[in-house]
Amino acid sequence: MLVSMAKVHVIGHRSRLDQTLAVLHQLQVLHLIDVSDDATAPLPPLAVDEQHLQRIEDLRYLRARLGSLLALIAHPPTPPGETVEMTAEGLYRLREDLNELTPQVEQLVHRLDDLAHEQDILPRHVASLTKLLPLVPGLAELHGYGTAVLLVESRHAAVLGELNAQLMEKLSGNFEIISDHVDHNTVGAVLVFPRDHSDEVQAMLGREAISRVRLPKQYETMSFREAIAAMKRRLAELPAEIAATRNALDELVSPRANWTAAASYLEKHLDQLSAIRHLGATARTFVVSGWVPATAVHELRDVLATQVGEEVIVESAQIQNGEVPPVLMHNPAPARPFEFLVRLLALPRYGSIDPTLLMALFVPLFFGIMLGDVVYGAILLVLALAANHRLRNRPSALRDLSRVFILSASWAVAWGVVYGEYLGDLGHRALGLEPIWINREEALEPLLLFAIAIGATHITLGLLLGVRQALRTKRRHELVERLSLLLTLAALFTIAAIVADFLPRGLLTPAIAAIVTALVILMVLGGGMGVVMAPLELIGLVGNVLSYLRIAALGVASVYLARVANELGAAAPLGLGVLVATLFHALNLALGAFSPTVQALRLHYVEFFSKFYDEGGEAFRPFGTGAEIQPAAS
Amino acid sequence: MEGGLTEIGIGLKAGLLGIGAGLAVGLAAIGTGYAQGRIGSAGIGALTEKPELLGRVILLVAIPETLVILGFAVAAMVIILLGG
């Protein structure tokens, strides 16, 4: 459900402004409204001078510099625990510190990067050269000639022949190219050429299939043997050099343990300074205007009275016409993960219906009806429980999703028992397990009727909620439209019942009359386009109900794929059969986790929500949560 | 022809019904795939600009699936009502 919001004005003496903002920042219950957008604000907007704006800019710049420096350091110094309060002098010192230390830190961090790169790349060069050395023992000590080490994929080895022909033409035979397989897939080649022709050779080597081994600059002029020896010496020196650089960086950074705390102070202070631009004030008084969850107004009043004093009061304000409070969803714990699925589409408008609880009920149910297999459901349940356990301390969309899957997989197990499916028909084949209700492989007709019944129920529920929503918002047009659709739906099912001999034929005329009446009402409501749109709307309604056939379709596809896995497994020898069946069941399980989720969501977003959902709410962003302060919608 | 099919246990009527049902689902699936491909590529483009549109993109990609569901409904009707 959506939390009821109250509009409040926090009014106080100007001398208490900073303290009040600090408390509000810490409390995180007030969604700020820009006073210039609030017609009920008792004071005019605070005139912010140039100096204030300049200060915000300065602090933003300082925050950006400090942030980028902290990002450079892999392990920033540990903060002292709490956010420090920084004086003007502290900020000055921080600025000086940054001016002095940033170049040094950058230099050391870049040096560390270079050393790590060297440590990574040199063993590869040593390996390549060591492999190529036996190819050209005569070159091992050669000086004065340019050499290029090339690696070519075996399937492109013909490129070396072409290269040989081109070099023969350009260098008149004054070169040597020697090649051999260095491993199964790679041909290594060493090209020796006069240094004067270096540019021409480089141009020829820029071929797609040729990968040139480029040695670091300091090894380029050495012979192979010298280069290998020098690289090995360098590799031996590197760990000590890295440790020394790291120590130098630590020595530089460790005394600045307050940097992390300073960064968090800057965040908080900037939030408060930016908030000032949205307040109202006179020379002596200030007002902060905002939305608070109705249940938190007392807490806000008490905390301000205790921590700031009686000079600051909280007044409830009148909500003006056209003012829309922000939206905060609050649902029972089991349904809370589904809030993320609602937000995935769009937030509901304040005062409208929050469909989270309904999604928590229907999404897992639809998933279970579609997948409906005890073993698949159990596997997904174990995976979802493991994911949820792993993410238990990290609130995230993934954790919410794992909780959605826990419920969905549980329903899949339950419906698996109903359908008698254990890895498809394996339970029946091996253990003679029978369905409680229907066998999906054989009873297609009841399954289709069941899916349509679910659709009719779900759409009817959506339309009833739409009627309720229209009544609450006093939108007569929508009310009549939804009632007409309900009438059509009832008439259509009456006709279906008459055709199936469940109802007497005498009801046929009233049912048709009801559809015609609904059609005429919809045409009138539609105005000029009503003649075209009303029939389309009725067809769309039937399409919405038929769309629930996907529940049956996906189920049938899943059960047949499982059967194919079992048939193939049974046809092959035991070991191979188990392997093939496992692969097919794994594929079916992957599809079974993905498709029913997407289809269950689609049935909600497209078919169900379109009957009542009023989207477009603004999220509740309390002051102090780091969200950018925005003027409230008016 | 009928004799040949009957030999492997399928009558001509059942075979034709099977082909009809297959066409109903298959052609609808081709149409759905085509539409989803176009919507999907546009949707991915939109997501690179605005990741918060994920829900809407899923919704838009899922909309043409109704076509294949209707194809499935026709196939089921062909088999159930005409197949006897």
Chain B residues within 8 A of A547 when measuring between CB atoms: 66, 69
The domain B12-75 is classified under which CATH number: 2.40.40.20, 1.20.120.550, 1.10.238.10, 1.20.20.10? Answer: 1.20.20.10
Structure confidence by residue, pLDDT tens digits, A240-252:
988 888 888 877 7
For residue B72, give the chain A residue with the closest CA: A553
Instruction: Express each pLDDT in A439-481 by its tens digit.
Output: 888 888 889 999 999 999 999 999 999 999 999 988 899 999 9
- Pick the more confident residue, A376 or A76: A376
Domain of A198, CATH number, reads 3.30.70.2750
* Phi, psi angle pair for B20, to nearest 5°: -60, -45
pLDDT tens readout for residues A60-101: 888 888 887 777 776 665 554 555 667 777 777 777 777 877
In a domain? residue A167: yes
Query: Is A311 part of any domain?
Result: no
Residue A9 forms part of a structural domain: no
Residue A187's domain comprises 118-240
- DSSP class of residue A86 equals -
| CA angle, A214 then A215 then A217, to 5° | 115
CA distance A509 to A529: 28
Side chain identity at residue A182, one-letter code = V
Does residue A313 form part of some domain?
no
Q: Are residues A234 and A344 in the same domain?
A: no
Q: What is the pLDDT of residue A626?
A: 66
Angle at A358 between CA A353 and CA A363, to 5 degrees: 135
Residue in A106, A94, A102, A47 with CA at minimum distance from that of residue A266: A94
Rounded distance between C-alpha atoms, residue A104 and residue A98, angstroms: 10
pLDDT of residue A451: 94
Query: In this structure, what token pair is assigned to residue A612?
Result: 């009542």
| Tokens matching residue A82 | 């709490």
CB A445 within 8 A of CB A454: no
Domain contains A54: no
Residue A230, both tokens:
């020098």
Which of A189-193, A231-235, A483-487, B14-18 is modeled with the greatest confidence?
A483-487
Q: Residue A84, by phi and psi: left (phi above 0), alpha (psi -120 to 50) or beta?
A: beta
Using alpha carbons, select from A24, A29, A28 the residue that is nearest to residue A3.
Answer: A29
pLDDT-based confidence at A632, cuts 50/70/90? Answer: very low
Any domain includes A291:
no
Nearest to A122 by CA among A240, A46, A218: A218
| DSSP assignment of A215-253 | PPHHHHTS-HHHHHHHHHHHHHHHHHHHHHHHHHHHHHH
Query: Per-domain residue ranges for chain B?
Result: 12-75
Best of A606, A609, A615, A618 to mutate (most B CBs within 10 Å, chain B): A606
Interval A115-160: pLDDT, tens: 888 888 888 778 777 777 776 665 655 666 777 777 777 888 888 8
CB spacing of A547 vs B55 below 8 angstroms: no
- Please, where are the H alpha helices in A254-338? 258-276, 297-307
Place of tokens 């046809």: A571
Q: 3-state class of A154 per DSSP?
A: helix
Return d(Cα A17, Cα A21) in angstroms, integer: 6
**Mean pLDDT computed over A197-207:** 74
Q: Is the pLDDT of residue A538 over 80?
A: yes
Answer yes or no: do B69 and A346 touch at CB < 8 A: no
Structural domains in chain A (count): 2
- Which chain B residues touch A if contact means CB-CB below 8 Å? 54-56, 58-59, 62-63, 65-66, 69-70, 72-73, 76, 79-80
A344 contact residues in B (CB cutoff 8 A): 54-55, 58
Say if CB A367 and CB A414 are below 8 A apart: no
Report the alpha-carbon distance of residue A354 to residue A617 in Å, rounded: 11
- Is the CB of A601 less than 8 angstroms away from the CB of B58? yes
User: Mean pLDDT over residues A413-436, rounded?
Assistant: 90
| Domain end marker among A240, A267, A295 | A240
Picking from B55, B56, B80, the nearest residue to A444 by CB comes out as: B80
Residue A516 binned pLDDT confidence (cut-offs 50, 70, 90): very high
With bands split at pLDDT 50, 70 and 90, how would you rate the model's confidence at B30? Answer: very high
pLDDT band, very low/low/confident/very high, at B6 (cuts 50, 70, 90): low
Q: What pLDDT does residue B13 have? A: 84
